[in-house]
A and B are shown apart, each in its own frame.
Chain A
Amino acid sequence: MSPRLGPSRERLVQLMATPVHRKYFETLRRMLGPEGLVSIREEQFFLVVAIAIGILAGFVVVLFRIAIAEARLWLLGSSMHPSAPRVVLVPAVMGLLIAVLAVRFFPRVRGSGVNQTKGALYIYDGYISAETVVGKFVLSALAIGSGQSLGPEDPALQIGAGLASSLGRWLNLSKERLRMISPVGAAAGLAAAFNAPITAVLFVIEEVIGRWSAGILGAVVLSAISSVVVERWFLGDEPLFRVPPYHLEHAGELVAYAALGVVGGVASVVFVKGIKNLRPRLRRLPQWSQYLQPGVAGLLIGIIAIWYPQVMGAGYEWMNLAMHNRFPWELLGILAGLKLVSTTLSFATGTPGGLFAPVLFMGAMLGASVGMLEQQLLPAITVPVGAYALVGMGALFAGILRAPMTSVFMVLEVSGNYSIILPVMICNTISYVISRGFQQVPLYDLLSRQDGLDLPSLEEERGQTILLVEDAMRPSRVRTLRGDETIESARAVVAGSGEDAFLVSLGEGRWSVLGREALADAANGEGSPVRSLVRARVPRLYQDQSLEVALRFIKDRPMLPVVHRDNLDLLMGVVSVQDILGAYRRAGLAEPETAASS
C-alpha cells in the first residue's frame, strides 16, 4: 500500500499524470540529467576542483607559514639574536622530538617533499595520505621554527599535493584524475609558499611531473593562481625581497655576473656532493641512530648559531639585509659556507623541511659577497649589491635544483625586477653547465635513487635523442596512384610492382592506401576512377614530426604519406612501421612498443 501523500503532493502527482505536464516534467528531468544543460563532464569538473584545491591549499599554506613563525617565537623568542643557551638547546631538543615523531608516526614526512610527491604521481597512483599532510605540516613547522636550516616551500608543495589527493579521493574522481591531482596541489602549495605562481607552475612541470604535459597544464595553472590570490589576500602582495632598482649600465657588467656564475656552479657542485655522500652514510647507520641524527644536527647548527644566528631557519630576513649592504663581503662568504654546512646536516639527517630557502640564502650571500669583492677590486663596477644577491640566488637555484627555466622566473617573481633578467640568464646558464659537468645526476633524481626509486626526469628527457619522421621515411617504390585515374590504369601499375599497398592521392591534400587485392578484386568497371574504391582516408605525416607521433597515427596501416607542409599534395616520402623500427635501430635506441613488435 503506497503511503498517503499530502494535499500538495497529491496535486503534484495529478498534474504529472496529464500529458502536457508529463511532457514538461520530462523535459525538466532531461535538462537536469547527465546530458542536460546543468551538467559538467569530469574533465571540465577537474578544472573547478583545481580552483578549489588552490583555494584550500592557499589557506593551509598561510596557516603553515604562521605556524612556523609562531613556533619560532615560542621556541627561540622574538629577537633576531636569541641567547646562546636557547640557540644550542632548542634545535637539539626539538630535533630529537621531531625524529621520534617522524620515525614512529609519520615516516613519509622526512625529506623535502618534492620526491615524495613525484613518487605519489608515478608510483602510488597519486595517493598521499592525510596523515602525511598533517605530519608534514606539524613537523616541518617545528623543525624550521626551532632553527633547523631548512625552508618551508618544499613541505608546502607536499602539503598541497596531499591536500589535493585527499580531496580527489573524497570526490571519488576517476583513477586517471586521481593520479594527476597531486601535481595540481603541489603547484598550489608551492605558489602560496613562494608567492610566485609562475615559478611554482614551472617547477612542478620541470621537477614533479618531469615532462611537459598539456593535459594537466590548465589545472596546474588554475590552482597556482587561486592559491596565490588567497595567500596575497591574507599576507599582502609585497615581493619577498625589496631590492634597489637595477639597470644594466655597461655590457662589461655581464662579465662580472659571468664570474658569479662560475662561483655559483662550483658551490652547487660542493653542496650536491655533500648531500650525495653524507645522506647514504647516515642512513646506513644503526636504526636507533635515526632517532638521534636530527638532534645532533640541531646541536651542531646551534653551536654555529651562537656566533652566526643567520644560519638558523629559512633566513629570509637576513637575505633582505644582505641585499642592502648590511654585511661585509667576508662575513657574507662565511655565511654562505656555514649555511651550506648547516643545510647539509639538517637535510641529510632526514629532518622534514625544504631546500628552496637555504639554496636562496646561499645564493644571496655568495652573490653579495662576490659582488662586493668585485666592486673593491674594480671600483668602476657600480652595480648594487642587491642585484648580485638576486642573481646569486638564481645561480645556485639553477646549479643545485637544476631547474633552469624555474630559476630565471623565480628571480623575477621574488624581486619584481625585470631589468635583471639578462644577468640572471647568463649567470644561471653558466652555473647550470658547470654543475651538470661535475655532477651528472640532478639532486632530486639523486635523492630518489638513494631511496630506491627510479622516477622520470625532465633533465634526462632533455638529453634524449628525438627521432623525426624524416629519419625513418623512404622514397615510395612505386608510382602514386591518382584518385581520378581509371582502375585499368591502376591495375597496370600494380601488375608491374611487387608492393602490396599503394598510395592514392585524392587531391586537396587527401590521401588513401589501397591494397593489391582491393584493386584486383574490384567489382567496379575498369573505366571507373580509383577513387570509387577508396573506403577511408589516411592521415598525413610531416618530416619534422617525431616518430612517436607517427606511431600514434600509423596504427595498423601499411604505410602513411609524408607530405610537404606547404603543398599537401606533394609527396616527400612514405613511412611504415618497419621503417620506424629501423630508424630506432640505426640510432641505437630501444625500439618503441608497437602492434607489430609486441
Chain B
Amino acid sequence: MGRKATDAVRPPAGTEMDARGRDGLGMSKETARCTVCGETLGEDGRCPRCKGTSHVWTIHDWRPLLTLGLVIVLGFSFTRLVVTGFNAKGKVLGAEYYTAGLAAMDGKRTAEAVDDFETALVYSRDNFQYRLKLTDALLASGATDEALSQLHAYWAQRPADAQVNLKLARLEAQRHHVDDALHYYQNAVEGVWPERTDPVAQRLSVRFEAAELLVRLGLQAQAEQTLLALAAVLPAEAPEQGRLGDLFLRNGDAARALSAYQAELNLKKDSDAAILGAARASFAAGSYLTARRYLVELRTETAESHALLEQLERMEALDPFARSATGEVRTRRTMAAFHIAVERLAGCGVPFAQALSRGEKIGHERDPAPWSEFASWAEQLAPMMSEGKLRGQDDVIESTMRFAFQAEVAAQKECAKPGLDDEALLLLAHERMGTN
C-alpha cells in the first residue's frame, strides 16, 4: 500500500467566520449560540462556558437547507434519467435475446433457447412473457423440475395469474398429481387472464381441459361434477355443445350427452357429427328407435354409423315384440333367439347347451351353477321350439325370450366376447329388462 493504515487523517479545521459574522456555510452567528447559557458556540460546536453542544437550527439557516433540498431534487432527476436510459437499454437487450430464443425454439435447439430466455430475463427481470417462454423451453428440453420450480416461484408471487396456473395444471397432470392439477385448473378458471385474450373463451377451454383429464383417467364421479358445472356455464348456442356431448358420453351419461347433441343440432341441423353423436347417445341410453331415426338422417354414412345401423337392424330382426311383427314373424324370431342363446352357452362350454346344440338329451348332472337352472329351463323350452307349437303361445314366447336374455347376460359375465347376434340380444335385453 505504501502508507500505513494507522496514518491518521484528521478532519479539516473549523470554518472561519467572514466579515458579516457568518461562517462559510452561511449559518448565522446569532444562531450559533448555546441553548443552555446563550454563549456563542466554539468552532467545534461546543459551548466554551458550560460545554453544551447544541447548535440550534432556525429559519436563518435557510441557505444550507435550501442547497440540500436542491441537491436532492437534482439527484432525483439525474438518477431518474440514468435509470430510464438503462431500463430502455435493458428492454432492447431482453427483446434481442427473447427473439433469439424463439428462433432457437423453432429450430429445436432447446438448450440454446433456455440460455437465451434466461439471459433475456437478466435484462428484463419482470417480463412475464419471457418467463413463460422460459418454462416452455425448459419443458421442451426435458427440465421438468426446473420448469416446475420456476412456475411455483412465480405462482407464489402471482397466485391469481391464470396462465401460470394453467401451465402448472398441465405439468401436474403429466406427473399424475390429479388433485394438484385440478386445483390449478380451478385457479386458472377463476384467475386473471391477460387483457388481449378472451377470458370467457379461455375459461371455457380450461374447463374442457380439466373435464377431459378426468374422463381420460376414468374418474367418473369427479368428471361428472366437472361436466355438470361446465354444462351450467356453457351457453346453449355455443359451438362446444358437441364436445360437451362427447365428454358426457365417454363418461357414461348418455342422457345428458343427448341433450348436448340436441343443443348442437338446434344450431347446426345438418351437422353429421352432431347427428352421429345424438345417435350414439340415444343408442347408449337404450332409445334405439331414436337412434335409428338419427342414423337415417345422416348425409354421409361412416363406418360407425354403418355398424350402428347394422346393429339396430339385427336387433329388429330378433325382436319378437316389435309392433310390426306378425304372429309368424314372432315365432321365427323367438326360435332364432333361443337357438342363438343356446349356441352362445355351448360356445362357453356349458354342457347342457352343447348337448342341446348337438340334438342330444339334456343331462343335469354335469351342469354346474348357475347353468343347472338354465338347463332345467331349456329342457322345458326346447320341445316347444317349432312354429306349430309356439304360435299363439305368448307366455312361452315370453319365457323363451327371458331365457335368451338371461342366458346372454350370464354368458357375458362368464365367457369371451359375444358375437353380433349375441350383442343384439343383449341390447334387446337391456331395452326390455333394463339389464346391463
Contact = CB atoms under 8 A, between A and B. Distances in A.
A482 interface: no
Contacts of A172: 15, 23, 25, 27, 45, 55
Interface string A138-170: 000000000000000000000000000001011
B156 A103 contact: no
A178 B10 CA distance: 13
Contact of B55 (A69, A79, A174): A174
B54 interface: yes
A129 B31 contact: no
Contact of B149 (A169, A244, A451): A244
Interface string A360-397: 00000000000000000000000011100000000000
Contacts of B3: 107
A174 B142 CA distance: 65
Interface stretch (B68-76, B186-194, B235-243, B405-413): B68-76
Nearest to B157: A242
Contacts of B93: 78
A175 B46 contact: yes
Interface in A39-80: 39-43, 45, 52, 55-56, 59, 62-63, 66, 69-70, 73, 78-80
B146 A325 contact: yes
A323 B156 CA distance: 14
A176 B53 contact: yes
A78 B45 contact: no
B1 interface: yes
Interface in B84-99: 86, 89, 93, 97
A456 to B, nearest CB: 17
A57 to B, nearest CB: 10
A66 B83 contact: yes
Given A107-B1, A171-B25, A242-B154, A33 B58 contact: yes
A279 to B, nearest CB: 12
Interface stretch (A119-127, A496-504, A542-550): A119-127
A321 B121 CA distance: 11
Given A56-B72, A69-B86, A452 B126 contact: no
Nearest to B114: A326
Contacts of B8: 123-124
B368 interface: no
B298 to A, nearest CB: 53
B377 interface: no
Contact of A174 (B25, B44, B78): B44
Nearest to B71: A56
A41 B54 contact: yes
Contacts of A110: 1
Contacts of B143: 325-326
Interface residues of B, number: 63
A171 B154 CA distance: 47
A107 B10 CA distance: 16
Interface range on chain A (Cβ under 8 Å from partner):
35 or more
A324 B126 contact: no
Nearest to A104: B2
A32 B58 contact: yes
A218 interface: no
Given A34-B56, A234-B79, A324-B146, A41 B153 contact: no
Interface in B1-34: 1-6, 8-12, 15, 23, 25, 27, 30-31, 33
Contact of A125 (B11, B15, B154): B11
Given A52-B72, A172-B45, A175-B45, A80 B156 contact: no
A105 to B, nearest CB: 12
B282 to A, nearest CB: 50
B3 to A, nearest CB: 6
A517 interface: no
B212 interface: no
Contact of B2 (A39, A107, A177, A245): A107
B80 A129 contact: no
B433 interface: no
Nearest to A171: B64
Given A66-B82, A171-B64, 11 more contacts: A43-B54, A78-B123, A81-B115, A107-B1, A107-B2, A124-B9, A178-B11, A283-B1, A317-B118, A324-B149, A326-B143
- Ranked nearest first, the 4 interchain pairs of A and B with the lowest CB-CB distance are A174-B45, A244-B152, A324-B149, A451-B5
14 contacts: A33-B58, A39-B58, A110-B1, A124-B9, A169-B12, A170-B64, A172-B55, A234-B79, A243-B153, A325-B143, A325-B149, A386-B149, A386-B153, A452-B4
